[in-house]
């Protein structure tokens, strides 16, 4: 009767284990859709729009006067925008995109969120453009819903 010593792994088994580990590492560490600078800039602008909207919704009335509105103002073709309080207009913070090759393009130069409901008077589409021509569109509807398209 022959006895085999099965204490080790064959070369094929070892290669199979290595291939499986490489596949798992590839799934974990490789992002199939890497974040681009344009995506980062669009998320930054959406975050600041929501910040202005939250400020408008949490603002208090002063002496039963017309409530303030909050929003952002920008210049077409510029790579920065300003977070503002309106009535009277007060600049709260100036914000730059991480790269100067990213600019804002829109049919208007500001968006305002009304107090206390956070809605807007006129829906807006804001385009964020990269120097290579790629674009991300941010839409704000009249109810104040903000989306990246």
SS (H, E, C) the chain: CCCCCCCCCCHHHHHHHHHHHHHHHHHHHCCCCCCCHHHHHHHHHHHHHHHHHHHHHHCCCCCCCCCCEEEEEECCCCCEEEEEEECCCEEEEEEECCCCCEEEEECCCEEEEECCCCCCCCCEEEEEEECCCCEEEEEECCCCCEEEC
In the chain, where the domains are located = 37-148
Predicted pLDDT of residue 25? 86
pLDDT tens, residue order, the chain (149 aa):
666 666 667 888 889 999 999 998 887 777 655 568 888 889 999 999 999 999 888 886 655 565 678 999 998 888 899 999 887 788 899 998 877 888 888 878 889 998 888 889 889 899 998 888 888 999 999 998 999 98
Class at the top of the CATH hierarchy for domain 37-148: alpha beta
Predicted TM-score (pTM) of the model is 0.73
């Amino acid at each position: 009767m022959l006895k085999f010593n099965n204490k080790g792994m064959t070369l094929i088994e070892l290669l199979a284990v290595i291939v499986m580990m490489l596949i798992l590492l590839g799934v974990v560490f490789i992002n199939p859709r890497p974040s681009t600078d344009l995506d980062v800039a669009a998320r930054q602008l959406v975050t600041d729009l929501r910040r202005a909207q939250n400020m408008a919704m949490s603002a208090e009335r002063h002496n039963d006067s017309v409530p303030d509105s909050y929003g952002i103002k920008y210049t077409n073709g510029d790579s920065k925008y300003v977070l503002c309080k309106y009535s009277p207009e007060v600049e709260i913070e100036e914000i730059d995109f991480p790269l100067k090759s990213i600019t804002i393009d829109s049919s208007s130069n500001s968006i305002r969120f009304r107090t206390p409901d956070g809605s807007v008077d006129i829906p807006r589409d804001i385009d964020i453009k990269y120097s290579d021509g790629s674009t991300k569109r941010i839409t704000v509807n009249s109810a104040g819903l903000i989306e990246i398209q």
